[in-house]
Amino acid sequence: MTEDKSEAMGEEVHTSRRILVLGAGAVGAAGFLAACGGGSNAPTDNNPATSGPRPSPTSDVLAKKSEVPVGSGKIDFADAIVITQPTAGQFLGFSAICTHQGCVVAKVKGDTIICACHGSEYSVKDGSVTKGPARQPLDKVAIKVEGDDIKLAS
């Protein structure tokens, strides 16, 4: 009877170890996959944002014309929109959601929109990819200028 219990316990321990190892592997794989997915979209970190539709604007005014440098741009993190001014007086709008993995782009440096998650870069002129891994341009967002205000177009 003692041997039967030992065998039963040995089998139970063996099964438990197998389950533990398989479970640990699954948790590790899930953690790896999660590193390329959702997270905070705060502008001060490099974490990916949750993918999905662009949020509704938090106000009518996305930016003032004076806030958008010529030949560069500005990110409205609250509304996930990049506003650029490729040439004086020409304002364009793009989604701030990187087309590679759905991160919110981190900054505009000179004439380049930069996603810090995986290094994709886009042109302020047309939202096209200038450096991968992204392959698709940023989505265009219709904007309008009213006086000194830049707003979403209706």
In a domain, 145, yes or no: yes
Residue 137 structure tokens: 């341009």
User: 99 vs 39, 91, 105, 134, 137, CA distance in Å?
Assistant: 16, 21, 10, 6, 7
Predicted TM-score (pTM) of the model is 0.64
How many folded domains does the chain comprise? 1
In a domain, 148, yes or no: yes
pLDDT in tens, 79-93: 999 999 999 999 999
In a domain, 121, yes or no: yes
pLDDT in tens, 98-153: 999 999 999 999 999 999 999 999 999 999 999 999 999 999 999 999 999 999 99
In a domain, 56, yes or no: no
In a domain, 113, yes or no: yes
Residues of the domain holding 118: 61-152
In a domain, 91, yes or no: yes
